[in-house]
Amino acid sequence: MDKRIYWSSIEYVYKKPEGNLLGGFVYVFINAFDVRFALEKISKEFIRENLIIKDIEFIKPYHPEQEWNSTERTEHYSQLCKIAKKSSRVEFDTFYAYEKSPT
């Protein structure tokens, strides 16, 4: 069975929040045999990073012809895909964090 690149959009919270940051969102890319294997690797990596997965919007194969809203973004995600293809690790895009609501 061949591996393929999967990508996922994940909302997370910090296991031990510091300051005003509560959690955030990130895209991840992973070279895996199937969705179950990808989810297992993603879950282990988030634990290692002291993050708790709050919501997984999707996990699906990444298609090389995927178009984004700009050439720069298309190239950026294409590069992440290439890195993931050569790696056994979960490759993270930029983390976008959000803060706690003021009380």
> What is the mean pLDDT of the segment spanning 9-19?
90
Could you tell me where the beta strands, DSSP code E, fall in the chain? 4-14, 21-32, 51-61, 91-92, 96-99
* Percent of the chain surpassing pLDDT 90: 70
Domain ranges of the chain: 4-99
First to last CA, the chain: 52
Provide the whole-model pTM.
0.88
Q: Is 32 in contact with 4 (CB distance < 8 Å)?
A: yes
Q: Is the pLDDT of residue 32 over 70?
A: yes
Whole-number pLDDT of residue 17: 79
Q: Is the pLDDT of residue 18 over 80?
A: no
Give the span between the Cα atoms of 100 and 93, in whole angstroms: 22
Residue 7's nearest CA partner among 49, 48, 68 is: 68
Q: What is the pLDDT of residues 50-79, one digit of tens each?
A: 999 999 999 999 987 777 888 898 899 999
